[in-house]
Structure 1
Amino acid sequence: MSNSLPELHLVAAARPNLPKLAALWHALAARPGLCRPLLLHTGQHHDPAMFGTHLADLGLPQPDHALGIAGGGGHAAVTGRTMMACAGFWSAWRPAMVVVAGDVDGSLAAALAARKLGIPVAHLEAGLRCGDRDMPEEINRRAIDAVSDLLWAPDEATAARLLADGHAPGAVRAVGNAMIDTLLARLPAARARPLPEGLVPEEYGVVTLHRAANVDHPAVLARLLSALGVAAAALPLVWPMHPRTAKRLQEAGLALPRGVRVLPPLGYLDFLGLLARARLVATDSGGVQEEATALDLPCLTLRPSTERPVTLEAGSNRLVPPDRLAESVAAVLAGHWPAARPIPLWDGRAGARMVAHLAETLAPHLREVA
């Protein structure tokens, strides 16, 4: 790939960014004459369990640049440190465009730093809204959309919302779901991974919980643990636990209920293999809601709202309050759960659609270097 091509910096801050960026990375690799993509790691997730193994699992290279901005200190501290580091880096090494994914603090910081330097920004997974303006992720996604030049939405309804908000038609593109590109490409390898010892396919459920609203308040977390314990009496549950959640459990002095087994954080392929052979998943993760829908896996979302309403419409996902969790598990085990309906554009071609939109946008740069 020629170094005279315009540079595209793909910003990876936290682990959930990587499967989304992987779809774009591999689509760009299939079109080598368009631009020179570089992977920039801010450092929000930096340990091997939370980041390193994902790169190999997703076929991504080691980051071209690592800013070393560790998490900790609260949302404002992470955002501020990352914004300053990105601004310093891009003042010396200016790309044609910056791509940020999702709604983590590092993505917001990178988007703000780029735009204040006059560098165009593309938001991968634009337009999602859950309606809870106090949720940190909701604040981030709204702010990123506000400053982005290209907005890649996962479905037509989300793209229509962005247009209704006043974004220019040429800036908005319904490209599909990048997470699903990666899932479809990696699913055979994930299914080939061995399950943790003692687990039998279709005879366990998966739990993931990490949202502040669920794990930062001891009383709320205790209620969730109690609900998981009741549900685990009907179906054993395995919980690949986020380090942040483990810390909150320890701080609150809370014990896991019987029937709930904790696993360490898993790499992408190991987690996808675990999810693909489960009977159900109980989660507060947006990405897991999407993955479960693609896998036709019953998803019990332990939140009052979701920024992925398309998964509710597909029938695979339901919003479940903790006191209804055992009832919902029983409904799944009794077969009272519909098959997921296909979602348009979730077809494994989101990366190609993003690249097509980039080709239109980068055309002036290509003429300049021709």
Structure 2
Amino acid sequence: MKIATILGTRPEIIKLSPLIPLLDKEFEQVLIHTGQHYSYTMDEIFFEDLKLRDCDYTLNVGSGTHAQQTGKMIMKLEEVLLNEKPDVVLVQGDTNSTFAGAITASKLQIKVVHVEAGCRSFDRKMPEEINRTLVDHCSDFLFAPDKKAFNNLVAEGVPREKIYLVGNTSIDACLRAMKLFNQDKLNDFSLEKENYALLTIHRQENTGHEKLKEILNAINTITDRLKVVFPVHLRTKNIIDEYEIQINDNLILTDPLGYKDFMGLLANSKFVMTDSGGVQEEAAVLNVPCLILRDNTEWMSYVELGKNMLLGTDQRKIAEYVVDLLNNEGKLDDMKQIKAYIKEGASENIISILKTELIFKQ
């Protein structure tokens, strides 16, 4: 039984990292990298950190508009899939690589497995929302991370027999990476445990120069009270430089970090401010308060629990809310006291289901 696993970005590499070795053990796996993320700091370092084998194919599609990038992926993936003839194509999440892999396989009448199915922000302005929804509706095996995602799929008319509630591979990846963290990394930035906040900003809607300036102005206000470490995505750094956006001294800009170092900084932070879906999950696993720099999220289960909080992107509201938290740290403690449903084993669950459905039922 041959499975083609398609990935192309940092989040996919991370979330598939516990699954890839298991797929190699149980199936003949062809590992295909689209090249959507293609720099060392956004790509190769994660294979090294997470001790993953090399890909069988690297397609080097690079950047471009959504249409250009996705079109290149589809053409190159079609060639690989026709050559390899896998029984199943596995994709993860909501990227252009995810969409290209699923649609190419579906057109070739190859079964599609979607890991992290059913997540919804209900914001169709987000390209990721379009990707994840379309992928779900052309998939044959939909692995939902939680009950909310499961119920979203049922509500959209996906047949229940295609949906499996398996848990979240991010939990497996996060806990695995924490064992590798070097505590000395804190010393590199002159940091002490819970005496700094962590910041990530990368989404398209937050990196237009006016919106980015507004968010960073709010963060600058916060740095009067607390150091903030900001690993900067290359696209975001270019905008900061081009438009000469002010950065205060206590806002510490760094190059993108490897996964184990980022996890270590996250685990030791007072709280994290982010627009990343993956970081929202990781913060919940590590019991770090997470303030979401978006108006909506596909991980509402953590928000509804009170574990994570939607801040939005308005400069005044961000600054006021975070300053209030710093003045009333009991609110941060309350967020930590809330128990999230954190259970390892999603990767093993996926393997077990695939073996049963693809091998034993042949």
Aligned to 1:19: 14
Deviations 1:280-309 (A, max 9, x none): 111100000111111111111011111100
Deviations 1:198-238 (A, max 9, x none): 1222111111001111112x221121111001111111101
Q: List alignment gaps of at least 5 residues for structure 1.
A: 1-5
Q: Alpha-carbon deviation of 1:343? A: 3.5
User: Pick from 323, 329, 335: which aligns with 1:330?
Assistant: 323
User: Pick from 347, 351, 354: which aligns with 1:355?
Assistant: 351
Q: Is the 8 A contact 1:193 1:273 kept in 2?
A: no
Q: Is the 8 A contact 2:99 2:134 kept in 1?
A: yes
Aligned to 2:131: 140
User: Pick from 201, 205, 209: which aligns with 1:213?
Assistant: 205
Q: Alpha-carbon deviation of 1:239? A: 0.3
Q: Alpha-carbon deviation of 1:89? A: 1.0
Does the residue aligned with 2:4 lie in a helix, a strand or coil?
strand
Instruction: Tell me whether 1:341 sits opposite 2:334 in the alignment.
Output: no
Q: How does 1:1-370 map to 2 (within 5 A)?
A: 6-28=1-23, 32=25, 34-71=26-63, 73-190=64-181, 192=183, 194-195=185-186, 196-216=188-208, 218-321=209-312, 322-333=315-326, 334-337=329-332, 338=334, 339=336, 341-344=338-341, 346-363=342-359
Q: Is the 8 A contact 2:217 2:246 kept in 1?
A: no
Q: Is the 8 A contact 1:23 1:350 kept in 2?
A: no
Deviations 1:18-68 (A, max 9, x none): 121112224435xx3x41223211101121111101012112111121112
Deviations 1:50-96 (A, max 9, x none): 1101012112111121112112x211111100011001111111111
Q: Is the 8 A contact 2:177 2:259 kept in 1?
A: no
* Cα distance, 1:328–1:253 mapped onto 2, change above 3 Å: same
* Cα distance, 1:52–1:358 mapped onto 2, change above 3 Å: same
What TM-score does the superposition give when structure 2 sets the normalisation length? 0.94
Q: d(CA) in 1 for partners of 2:28 and 2:213? A: 49
Q: d(CA) in 1 for partners of 2:2 and 2:96? A: 23
Does the residue aligned with 1:311 lie in a helix, a strand or coil?
helix
Deviates more, 1:236-245 or 1:331-340: 331-340
Q: Is the 8 A contact 1:45 1:51 kept in 2?
A: yes
Q: Is the 8 A contact 2:203 2:276 kept in 1?
A: yes
Instruction: Give the AA of the match of 1:316.
Output: K
Q: List alignment gaps of at least 5 residues for structure 2.
A: none
* Cα distance, 1:63–1:340 mapped onto 2, change above 3 Å: farther
Q: Is the 8 A contact 1:300 1:328 kept in 2?
A: no
Q: d(CA) in 2 for partners of 1:189 and 1:335? A: 31
Q: d(CA) in 1 for partners of 2:278 and 2:85? A: 31
Task: State the identity %.
Answer: 35
What TM-score does the superposition give when structure 1 sets the normalisation length? 0.92
Q: Alpha-carbon deviation of 1:247? A: 1.7
Q: Alpha-carbon deviation of 1:197? A: 3.0
Q: d(CA) in 2 for partners of 1:55 and 1:20? A: 12
Instruction: Give the AA of the match of 1:228.
Output: I
After superposing on structure 2, the runs of 4+ consecutive aligned residues of structure 1 that deviate more than 6 Å are: none
Q: Alpha-carbon deviation of 1:364? A: 5.8
What do you get for the CA RMSD once the two structures are aligned?
A: 1.6
Q: d(CA) in 2 for partners of 1:50 and 1:222? A: 23
Q: Alpha-carbon deviation of 1:258? A: 3.7
